[in-house]
């Protein structure tokens, strides 16, 4: 890193404002990033950090303000301009063509050719391997992207930017999909790139990673610039309160669990996917009344199929699923509900809500056939409305009185509150929560965690599936690690070691 | 017996040429992420333009080229609707299947004194006589060349890489500076030209004039061949040969001596198409972005 005395900025953004219609996404925001440093951009969901970076990368244009790259004022009209200025971006959702090889993905749009159009893949391949070795970005240049791990896909994305001569690298939420080990590797790679003089901006809301990797941190809250701090000078709690604008508790408060008998009992369950490949393999698991069992694992290790089998959305190939001793596998989805299993689904837009229906309608979407919400096939709208009003009040869904509004207009946090209210109101024996805090900000996350713990304290068996290991460690009483469709180990959450779990998630052996 | 086999091969290749050229158009279009159900309509306008220009110029090659031009022009409509205005691609394609035959019939009445069919062209596309009943249509040779060319462009050139990228993950291509709309426009127009050639291969080689029913489902059979051939040029080529063989069987077996009713026999190619679609559609993996209009900035 260059000495602080003479500051050499790679990126300066001054007075940036951006409106989407009447909504002000960014209001007079500034950002100064020193050359060769790792600079974190911290803010809650919707704070405007991605918008700011999309402006830097030319995907959006700012309404006001100026951008200075390496001392030159620049007008970045589109990603092509940004690429020419040496700016590269790794998007949160990878921009990779899955059936293409690693090399093809890297060369796309900047192909080396002979006779004006015939691709010279071999030459590209050599160059890619050189780059890969230089920065320790291990990849297989001939593997298809659909066959490689998420960690390697991310390295391909970084190589894509470096291949285009990026000197300034923007990483949008780079750790969201990685295991703790992969996160360690990524931080190592970022350091190496910075030592080589590259400037790195990471967008994140994970405080621990900022402390571990970044030199400086700029905080944005609701589109307004708050501060830029030297990461060494602050602690995580200070960062959190700057981000949220109030004191927040980073740890979940809960009493010890008082587990009862096993309510959900899964025995030797095997589930195959639509292509006939076993995704869940002879999996056995018990969830007891009054406990939260967290399933830790990397995306795609059978979590989705396990939950879908419990919900009876896909058939179980072999094995049993028992709820209070009653078999429910290979029944209709409604039978799962009737057996007392409620689910907060992973994708609230796809499986949790009908976005264009009203809040009131969404509240009875599982129970509209039952008295008092309908009788003889006719809906009792008055009853549905008063039921909604009651739950809106009880669970603090905002805005108050939103019962007749379409759900689409609610914020993500309030949509999630609606689902939680609906599922908890079913008074189930088993409550399943899949990625319940995905896309929510710190305040809403606190609420969701509290709701899960309350459900536990009322004696429900809670099954939590999350890709966020921190969440699993904070909320669960016991942690089951899933790998390749089976539970490889179950640990008490108290005293569990994050690195050990990370290793198990990646298929490492038990100690 | 041996001459029967040679005859079957001859007829199969003759019928295959229109299917192959059209199916290649389907491959190019769908690999760029645009469903083209309008192949049939583009074939019809090609068949008409081929016969009409072929008649007035007395040169089948001029007719063949005119057919490509006509198909490409009709395809522009599909491009404007489905790329620029992001209309539903199936609806837009269905519209082409009405416009193609309608326009052809209208123009036919204009150019041929109100008749619904053109006058026979003085010269057909040439055939290479290989002795006895065995001959190969030049259109089939053109189809082979275009198959090889399409394969080469798709897999060996940067334009092919970009086209396939646009069909799989347009946003990724866009962030790397590939113009998604331009690629799709080019692919759709190219597919129209190929379907136009396909139509002309029917009206200038299989028969020698345009009639309203000269194209009757070949465009849809070609679509089925695209799927059966897993969206690859060589796969579609082989699929078309199979379908063309079914058509040849209709001709061979329908020749009087057979006890099977000709009406039932002529169902054979269509039945085979349905059968193939039922058996293979579920398993084939289409380009991921096929049929999805690309919206910049949408995630």
DSSP secondary structure of B24-64: HHHHHHHHTT---TTHHHHHHHHHHHHHHHHHHHS-HHHHH
- What pLDDT is stored for residue B162 in this prediction? 96
Q: Which of B169, B287, B289 to mutate to test the interface with A (most CBs of A within 10 A)?
A: B169
Torsion over CA of B60, B62, B64 and B65, rounded to 10 degrees? 170
Question: How distant, in Å, are the alpha carbons of A262, A327, B85 from that of A293?
Answer: 11, 20, 50
Residue segments in chain B with a per-residue pLDDT below the cut of 70: 255-258, 281-284, 297-299
Whole-angstrom distance, CA of residue B65 vs CA of residue B63:
5
**Chain B residues touching residue A59 (CB < 8 angstroms):** 175, 297
Q: Tell me, what's the pLDDT at A250? A: 65
Taken as a whole, chain B contains a residue count of: 299
Contacts of A167 (CB under 8 A, 6+ apart): A10, A86, A87, A197, A198, A199
CB-count exposure of residue B33 (10 Å: 0-12, 13-18, 19+): buried
Q: Alpha carbon of B281 to those of B274, B284, B286: distances in Å?
A: 10, 5, 9
- Rounded mean pLDDT for each run of 10 residues along chain A, 511 residues in total: 61 92 87 95 82 90 93 90 92 89 94 89 92 90 89 92 94 81 89 93 86 93 92 88 76 84 95 86 95 91 93 93 94 91 88 92 91 91 93 86 87 86 92 87 81 93 91 93 94 88 80 51
In order of start, what are the domains of chain A with their CATH numbers?
Answer: 9-244 (3.40.50.300), 260-340+428-511 (3.40.50.300), 344-420 (no CATH)
Nearest CA to B168 among B26, B23, B30? B30
pLDDT for residue A3: 41
Q: Is A18 exposed, middle or buried (0-12, 13-18, 19+ CB in 10 A)?
A: buried
Contact residues of B toward A, CB < 8 A: 156-159, 161-162, 164-165, 168-169, 171-178, 288, 297, 299
Could you tell me which of A451, A440, A462 has the C-alpha nearest to residue A340? Answer: A462
Which chain A residues have a beta carbon less than 8 Å from that of B157? 113, 117-119
Helical segments of chain B, H only = 2-31, 39-57, 60-79, 89-111, 138-156, 158-168, 170-175, 180-201, 218-228, 233-253, 262-265, 268-280
Task: Indicate the SS3 state at residue A158.
Answer: helix
DSSP 3-state of B215: coil
Q: How far is B195 from chain A (nearest CA, A)?
A: 25
Query: What pLDDT does residue A430 have?
Result: 96
Could you tell me if A266 and A283 are in contact, meaning their C-beta atoms sit under 8 angstroms apart? yes
Q: Could you tell me if A93 lies within 8 Å of chain B, comparing CB atoms?
A: yes
Do the Cβ atoms of A179 and A506 come closer than 8 Å?
Answer: yes
Predicted complex ipTM: 0.88
For A83, the closest of B161, B162, B177 (CB atoms) is B177
* SS3 at position A32: strand
CA distance B158 to chain A (A): 6
Give Cβ neighbours of residue B39 (< 8 Å, ≥ 6 apart). Answer: B22, B25, B26, B93, B191, B195, B198, B219, B220, B222, B223
- For residue B270, give how far its alpha carbon lies from the nearest alpha carbon of chain A (Å): 29
Q: Could B172 and A95 be called an inter-chain contact, meaning their C-beta atoms sit closer than 8 Å?
A: yes
Pairing of strands A430-434, A461-466: parallel
CB contact under 8 A, A108 and B161: yes
Residues A49, A222: Cα–Cα separation, whole Å = 9
Look at A95 and B175 and tell me if their CB atoms are within 8 Å.
yes
Which of B161, B164, B179, B297 is the best substitution to test chain A (most A C-beta atoms within 10 A)? B161
CA–CA separation, A291 and B280 (whole Å): 48
Structure tokens at A265: 């009992």
Nearest to B165 among A93, A108, A110 (CB): A108
The predicted structure's pLDDT at residue A1: 41
Angle ∠(A168,A170,A176) on CA atoms, nearest 5: 150
pLDDT for the residue A391:
92
């Amino acid at each position: 890193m260059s000495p602080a005395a003479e500051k050499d900025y790679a990126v300066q953004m001054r007075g940036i404002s951006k409106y989407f219609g009447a909504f002000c996404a960014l209001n007079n925001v500034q950002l100064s990033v020193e050359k060769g440093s790792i600079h974190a951009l911290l803010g809650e969901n919707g704070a405007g950090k991605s918008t700011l970076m999309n402006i830097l990368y030319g995907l959006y244009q700012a309404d006001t303000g100026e951008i200075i790259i390496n001392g030159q004022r620049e007008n970045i009209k589109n990603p092509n301009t940004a690429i020419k200025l040496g700016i590269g971006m790794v998007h949160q959702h990878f921009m990779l063509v899955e059936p293409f090889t690693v090399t093809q993905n890297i060369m796309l749009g900047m192909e080396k050719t002979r006779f004006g159009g015939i691709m010279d893949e071999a030459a590209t391949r050599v160059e890619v391997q050189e780059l890969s070795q230089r920065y320790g970005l291990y990849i297989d240049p001939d593997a298809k992207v659909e066959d490689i791990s998420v960690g390697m896909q991310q390295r391909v994305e970084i190589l894509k930017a470096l291949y285009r001569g990026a000197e300034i690298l923007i990483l949008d939420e780079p750790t969201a999909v990685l295991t703790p080990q992969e996160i360690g590797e990524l931080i190592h790679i970022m350091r190496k790139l910075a030592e080589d003089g590259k400037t790195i901006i990471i967008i994140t809301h994970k405080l621990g990673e900022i402390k571990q990797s970044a030199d400086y941190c700029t905080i944005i809250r609701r589109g307004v610039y708050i501060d830029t701090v030297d990461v060494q000078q602050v602690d995580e709690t200070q960062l959190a309160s700057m981000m949220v604008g109030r004191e927040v508790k980073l740890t979940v408060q809960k009493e010890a669990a008082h587990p009862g008998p096993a309510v959900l009992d899964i025995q030797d369950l095997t589930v195959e996917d639509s292509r006939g490949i076993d995704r869940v393999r002879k999996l056995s698991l018990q969830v007891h009344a009054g406990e939260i069992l967290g399933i830790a694992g990397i995306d795609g290790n059978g979590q989705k199929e396990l939950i879908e089998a419990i919900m009876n959305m896909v058939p179980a190939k072999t094995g049993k699923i028992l709820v209070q001793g009653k078999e429910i596998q290979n029944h209709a989805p409604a039978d799962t509900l009737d057996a007392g299993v409620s689910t907060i689904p992973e994708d609230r837009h796809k499986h949790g809500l009908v976005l264009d229906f009203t809040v009131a309608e969404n509240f009875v979407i599982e129970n509209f056939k039952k008295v008092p919400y309908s009788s003889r096939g006719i809906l009792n709208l008055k009853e549905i409305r008063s039921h909604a009003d009651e739950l809106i009040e009880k669970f603090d869904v905002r805005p108050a009185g939103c019962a007749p509004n379409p759900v689409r207009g609610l914020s993500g946090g309030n949509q999630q509150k609606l689902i939680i209210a609906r599922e908890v109101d079913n008074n189930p024996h088993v409550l399943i929560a899949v990625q319940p805090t995905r896309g929510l900000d710190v305040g809403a996350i606190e609420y969701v965690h509290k709701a899960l713990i309350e459900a536990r304290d009322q004696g429900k068996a809670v099954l939590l599936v999350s890709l966020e290991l921190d969440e699993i460690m904070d909320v669960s009483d016991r942690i089951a690690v899933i790998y390749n469709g089976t539970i490889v180990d179950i640990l008490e959450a108290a005293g569990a070691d994050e690195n050990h779990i990370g290793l198990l998630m990646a298929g490492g052996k038990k100690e | 017996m041996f001459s029967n086999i040679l005859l079957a091969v001859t007829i199969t290749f003759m019928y295959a040429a229109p299917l192959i050229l059209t199916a290649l158009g389907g491959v190019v279009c769908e690999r760029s992420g645009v469903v083209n159900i309008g192949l049939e309509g583009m074939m019809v306008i090609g068949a008409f333009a081929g016969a009409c220009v072929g008649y007035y110029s007395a040169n089948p090659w001029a007719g063949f080229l005119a057919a490509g031009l006509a198909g490409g022009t009709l395809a522009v409509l599909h491009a404007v609707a489905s790329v620029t205005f992001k209309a539903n691609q199936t609806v837009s394609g269905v519209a082409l299947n009405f416009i193609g035959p309608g326009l052809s019939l209208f123009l036919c009445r204009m150019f041929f004194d109100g008749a619904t069919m053109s006058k026979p062209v003085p010269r057909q596309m040439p055939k290479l006589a290989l002795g006895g009943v065995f001959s190969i249509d030049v259109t089939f040779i053109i189809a082979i060349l275009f198959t090889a060319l399409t394969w080469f462009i798709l897999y060996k050139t940067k334009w092919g890489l970009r086209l396939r990228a646009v069909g799989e993950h347009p946003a990724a291509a866009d962030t790397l500076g590939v113009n998604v709309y331009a690629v799709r426009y080019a692919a759709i127009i190219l597919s129209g030209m190929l379907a136009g050639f396909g139509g002309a291969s029917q009206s200038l080689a299989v028969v020698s004039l345009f009639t309203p029913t000269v194209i009757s489902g070949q465009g849809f059979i070609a679509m089925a061949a695209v799927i059966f051939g897993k969206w690859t040029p060589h796969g579609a080529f082989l699929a078309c040969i199979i379908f063309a063989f079914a058509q040849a069987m209709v001709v061979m077996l329908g020749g009087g001596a057979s006890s099977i009713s000709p009406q039932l026999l002529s169902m054979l190619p269509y039945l085979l198409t349905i059968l193939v679609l039922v058996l293979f559609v579920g398993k084939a993996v289409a380009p991921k972005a096929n049929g999805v209009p690309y919206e910049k900035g949408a995630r």
